[in-house]
Structure formats: structure tokens, C-alpha cells
Amino acid sequence: MGQWISNPRRATTQWLRHGRAALSLCVAITVFLIASVTNLAAQTTSNSTPSSSGEEVVLGLSKDKVAITATFDGSEILVFGAVKREQPIPDTDPLEVIVAISGPSAPVMVRRKEQKLGIWVNTDSVLVDSAPSFYAVATSAPFSDVLTDTEDLRYRVSIGRAIRSVGAGMHIRDAQEFANAVKRIRANEGLYSLRENTVAVDEQTLFRTAIDMPADLTEGAYRTRILLTRGGEVVAQYETTIDVQKVGLERFLYVMSREQPFWYGLMSLAIAIAAGWGASAAFRMLRNG
């Protein structure tokens, strides 16, 4: 049998009380969503530099954090977005898109080897002031078509411009070859790449591309830039970062080796002794058994 209400006035009071609570909850959720959207819009505006024509980048990433574990064998970052406009599409040169991802930069010592009397010896050395540990550039057309040399010098987009080497001595011949050697070696290792015609642009509004990141990544913040160009000139840009960090046991050992090298060395020695003793005991048991 169903339950009957013995006091209608009490039931009405309870119904009103629950209705007010539900209405308050809905208002709170609405306020939270509006605040979140406002905060996101403010963050997007602060990272994006609109052009004089009113074009602005709205970006999305498949992931903004990369975790390096013992089984990490690389990652693929999907970069996608749209162009926000307050006016119709300009009736000028077509829109082109450049995506550049740069890893943490550090000085690199480069040495030149030459064969003398049948022996390869170091002859010259140059300290390259700054070279990114990883650098990938993806474009929607050939690089020379999407960016002029003057704009490349200004924004430092190409791989050669991303490497800074100004400290070579006057006695060093072909000093630029040392920076080129860094570019060549890291390109062969899959750390530097220029990927032309890999950014898909739809109706001069939507764009997307995928960047492959190798397994031997350096920890740190990876600077990600999106540049919109017309006629080789940059009309808008957007910048964000991708956080690459070791996690788990790898993170513990990495931090310990940097911050507590003495205890890290003792632990490594103890593990080596234990492993050697364990292997010796195992072989002795197998031989006796």
C-alpha cells in the first residue's frame, strides 16, 4: 500500500524547504561555471597576442603534461585550435600557421676532431651559448612561404635561429659550423625537426597538427608557440607551456642524485654489492645442487 500524508501543511513546508535548497544549489553551480569560464577567457587573452586585424588564437592541447616513467617510449602531442575574429576573414594573403615546441635550453660544448698522424684528436672547441634540448617546428606550407627571413630573425622560429652561439674566439675558423654540428647531431637523434606542410588549416579558421616527442626528453617546461602569418608576416601569436617531469621511482632517484649525491652514491654502492652477492650465492646454489 502507498503512504498517505497525515499533515498536508507540514508536507507543504518540507517541500518548500527542499525547493529552496535545490534552487540555492543551482545558483551556486551557475556562479561557479560563470567564474570558471571568465577565468579561462582571461587566461587565454593573456597568452594570446591579437593582430591589428582582430585575429586571435584559441588553442587546445591533447595533453599539457608529459610523465616520464620507466616504460616511457615517447609521446605524441595533438595541437589544435581556431582563429577568433571580430571581423570577416581578411581578403588578402591566405592564413598560414606555425607551431613551434622548444625544450629547455642549455650551453653545449662542441669539439672538432681532425686526423693527425693517423690519430683522431680534438683540435678546436666552442661553447654554444644556448641550444634547446628539443625543438620541433610544424608549418602549414613550406617554411620560406609562411615566414620571411626578417620575421624569422625577429621571432627566432627556425632551428638555426633557436641556437645562439656568439662566444667563439677569433682564432676559430668556421665558427658557425659548430652550431650547425649541434643542429645536425640532434636532428639525427630525432630531437630537432622541421615538419613542413604538416599543419592542416580548414577555411582559414581551424588548424591541427601532431608533434612526436622522443623517449629521451629533458625535464622542464616546453615552450609552445603558435604563430599566424599572412604573406610571411606574423599577424598573431599564442604561447603556452607543456610540463615534462619524471614521476614515481625515476623522479625519486633523479632528485636524490641531484640534491643528495653522497647518499645516492652510498645507495648505489650498497645495491651493487647486494646484487653481486646475490648472483654469487645463486650460482653457488645451482652448482652445488
Q: What domains can be seen in the chain, in order of their start residue?
A: 54-245 (2.60.40.3880)
Residue carrying the nine cell digits 654489492: 273
pLDDT of residue 216: 87
CA separation (Å) from 207 to 74, 146, 198?
23, 15, 10
Contacts of 52 (CB under 8 A, 6+ apart): 235
d(CA 156, CA 79): 20
Q: What is the rounded average pLDDT of the residues 139-167?
A: 92
Q: What is the pLDDT of residues 36-72, one digit of tens each?
A: 433 444 443 346 665 555 789 999 898 888 888 777 8
The proportion of the chain whose per-residue pLDDT surpasses 70, expressed as a percent, equals: 79
DSSP bridge pairs for 65: 243
Residue 198 in contact with residue 138, Cβ under 8 Å?
yes
Rounded to 5°, the CA angle 148-77-242 comes to 80
pLDDT of residue 128: 87
**pLDDT reading at 227 higher than 90:** yes
d(CA 277, CA 173): 54
Q: What is the DSSP letter of 3?
A: P
CA separation (Å) from 122 to 149, 188, 278?
35, 22, 43
d(CA 52, CA 94): 16
Of residues 156, 149, 164, the one with CA closest to residue 227: 156
pLDDT of residue 169: 63
Number of other residues whose CB lies within 10 A of the CB of residue 83? 23
CA separation (Å) from 284 to 117, 274, 275, 280, 287?
51, 15, 14, 6, 5
Q: What is the DSSP letter of 118?
A: T
pLDDT of residue 53: 59
How many alpha carbons lie under 13 Å from residue 273 in its C-beta half-sphere?
Answer: 6
Greater confidence (220 vs 248) lies with 220
d(CA 228, CA 241): 18
**pLDDT reading at 12 higher than 50:** no
* Claim: this prediction has a pTM higher than 0.85: no
**pLDDT reading at 16 higher than 60:** no
Residue carrying the nine cell digits 652561439: 165
pLDDT of residue 247: 78
pLDDT of residue 49: 61
d(CA 37, CA 56): 17
Q: What is the rounded average pLDDT of the residues 159-166?
A: 86
Q: What is the DSSP letter of 218?
A: P
